[in-house]
């Protein structure tokens, strides 16, 4: 039994997330699909965006096709239905629309290649998965074809498989460091169960920046993003402020102008780690300054796939890359799906 079988005993939905285009995400998807065929795992396949086309629609580079075995459950928009090499039986026309037609849930009647797509919103993806389970799926793989940040969201799936590789940099060390940084971010501790967490969850319906005092009082700023808002947040923090909830993107501009004493005093709360846009150096600098952050929900990484080949032509030694990555993230399985 392979990796996919082991994962199917722990999770019901897995998102495949690429660190960048051409990081090997589609290759990883095909590897897992092949394992499912070998191990008899009844798969469902869907996507945020579109995948399975032979040429990347953004970069123009050649892409692996998605080959699906008989009885696999898959989502396909109406405009892609006729383009499928596989024979597809329509099980249901869903209520979800995409730029390339209404979304269909299909069963693969005859094995072959399929261009897959799904609803663009993470919550709609979750609802589609629930419908697909109704057709007997044991595990659903969700491919992130366009927006890799949204597909990593913990609202989308139980865990993610992170695909990384040489495309990130000609320096193997930088590839490993950047991947380990994402792993560290996604593992940020969740906010403890307490009255303040309950207050935040009950009052974050309008996605406004929110300050919660030690006494449980809520102060909302008329801002839906913290970008460039550091001085407004700084003005709002007083001696009683304990938590600052930031609903949107978290960058240097969110905290750059906050008084260092205030920065050490409060704890920042984020929806999930995909909201953080700080590179490894920036992250380390803020942590040294006493910056504290937790999330309402972190992200579980089930496995990491590495691709030692870059489209521009340079490669790493597969074993060296895999070993270096495994040393950096010892608690997560690391595989090269091409080996």
Q: What is the DSSP string of 51-92?
A: E--SB-TTT--B---EEE-TT-EEEEEHHHHTT-SSEEEEEE
Shared domain check, 291 and 167: no
Shared domain check, 323 and 255: no
Shared domain check, 86 and 163: yes
The HSE-up count of residue 328 (CA atoms within 13 Å, CB side) is 21
Read off φ and ψ for residue 132, nearest 5 degrees: -65, -35
Residues with Cβ < 8 Å from 279, sequence gap 6 or more?
181
CATH number of residue 110's parent domain: 3.40.50.300
- Give the pLDDT of the chain (339 residues) as one tens digit per residue: 678 878 889 999 999 999 988 898 888 999 999 999 888 999 999 988 654 444 444 333 334 478 999 999 999 999 999 889 999 999 999 999 888 899 999 999 999 999 888 887 778 899 999 999 999 999 999 987 544 555 677 888 999 999 999 999 999 999 999 999 999 999 999 999 999 999 999 999 998 999 999 999 999 998 877 778 889 999 999 999 999 999 988 998 888 889 999 999 999 999 999 889 999 999 999 988 889 999 999 999 999 999 999 989 999 999 999 999 999 999 999 999 887
Shared domain check, 305 and 291: no
- Integer-rounded Cα Rg, in Å, for the chain is 21
Shared domain check, 68 and 204: no
What is the domain range of residue 154? 3-186+299-335
| pTM confidence score | 0.88
Shared domain check, 114 and 59: yes
Residues with Cβ < 8 Å from 235, sequence gap 6 or more?
none
Cβ atoms of 73 and 133 within 8 Å: the answer is no
Q: What is the pLDDT of residue 298?
A: 93
- The count of domains in the chain is 2
Shared domain check, 303 and 247: no
CATH number of residue 212's parent domain: 3.40.140
Q: What is the pLDDT of residue 12?
A: 95
Closest by CA to 338, choosing from 24, 72, 12, is 24
Cβ atoms of 84 and 107 within 8 Å: the answer is no
Beta strands in the chain (DSSP E): 13-18, 43-51, 66-68, 73-77, 87-98, 101-110, 112-114, 116-118, 139-144, 159-165, 210-213, 218-220, 241-246, 267-270, 293-295, 301-307, 334-335
- Alpha-carbon span 213 to 217, nearest angstrom: 5
Q: What is the DSSP string of 207-242?
A: ---EEEETT--EEE-S-S--TT-HHHHHHH--TTEE
**71 Rama sector, left if φ>0, alpha if ψ -120 to 50, beta otherwise:** left
Q: Which of 280, 295, 310 is at the close of a domain? A: 295
- Alpha-carbon span 93 to 98, nearest angstrom: 12
CA distances from 185 to 66, 84, 126, 195, 316 (A): 30, 38, 23, 25, 25
Shared domain check, 122 and 19: yes
Length of the chain, in residues: 339
- Alpha-carbon span 61 to 282, nearest angstrom: 32
Q: What is the pLDDT of residue 146?
A: 42
Q: What is the pLDDT of residue 271?
A: 92
Cβ atoms of 77 and 103 within 8 Å: the answer is yes
Shared domain check, 303 and 291: no
Shared domain check, 254 and 108: no
- Alpha-carbon span 159 to 195, nearest angstrom: 27
Shared domain check, 213 and 180: no
- Alpha-carbon span 32 to 143, nearest angstrom: 12
Shared domain check, 266 and 170: no
């Amino acid at each position: 039994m392979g990796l996919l079988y082991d994962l199917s005993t722990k999770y019901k939905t897995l998102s495949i997330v690429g660190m960048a285009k051409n990081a090997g995400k589609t290759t990883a998807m095909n590897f897992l699909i092949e394992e499912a065929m070998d191990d008899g795992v009844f798969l469902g396949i869907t996507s945020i965006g579109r995948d399975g086309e032979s040429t990347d629609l953004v970069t123009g580079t050649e892409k692996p096709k998605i080959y699906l075995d008989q009885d696999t459950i898959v989502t396909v928009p109406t405009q892609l239905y006729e383009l499928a090499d596989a024979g597809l039986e329509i099980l249901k026309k869903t209520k979800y629309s995409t730029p390339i037609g209404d979304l269909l849930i299909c069963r693969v009647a005859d094995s072959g290649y399929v261009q897959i797509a799904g609803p663009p919103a993470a919550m709609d993806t979750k609802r589609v998965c629930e419908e697909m389970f109704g057709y007997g799926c044991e595990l659903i793989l969700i491919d992130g074809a366009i927006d890799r940040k949204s597909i990593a969201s913990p609202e989308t799936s139980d865990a993610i498989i992170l695909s990384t590789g040489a495309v990130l940099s000609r320096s193997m060390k930088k590839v490993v460091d950047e991947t380990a940084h994402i792993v560290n971010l996604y593992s940020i501790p969740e906010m403890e169960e307490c009255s303040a967490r309950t207050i935040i969850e009950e009052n974050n319906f309008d996605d406004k920046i929110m300050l919660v005092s030690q006494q449980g009082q809520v102060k909302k700023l008329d801002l839906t993003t913290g970008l460039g808002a550091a001085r407004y947040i700084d003005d709002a923090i007083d001696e009683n402020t304990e938590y600052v909830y930031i609903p949107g993107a978290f960058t240097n501009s969110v905290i750059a102008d906050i008084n260092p004493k205030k920065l050490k005093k409060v704890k920042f709360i984020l929806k999930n780690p995909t909201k953080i846009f700080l590179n490894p150096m920036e992250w380390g600098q803020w942590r040294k300054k006493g910056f504290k952050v937790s999330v309402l929900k972190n992200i579980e990484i089930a496995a990491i796939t590495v691709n030692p080949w870059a489209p521009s032509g340079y490669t790493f030694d597969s074993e060296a890359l895999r070993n270096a990555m495994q040393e950096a993230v010892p608690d997560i399985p690391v595989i090269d799906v091409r080996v």
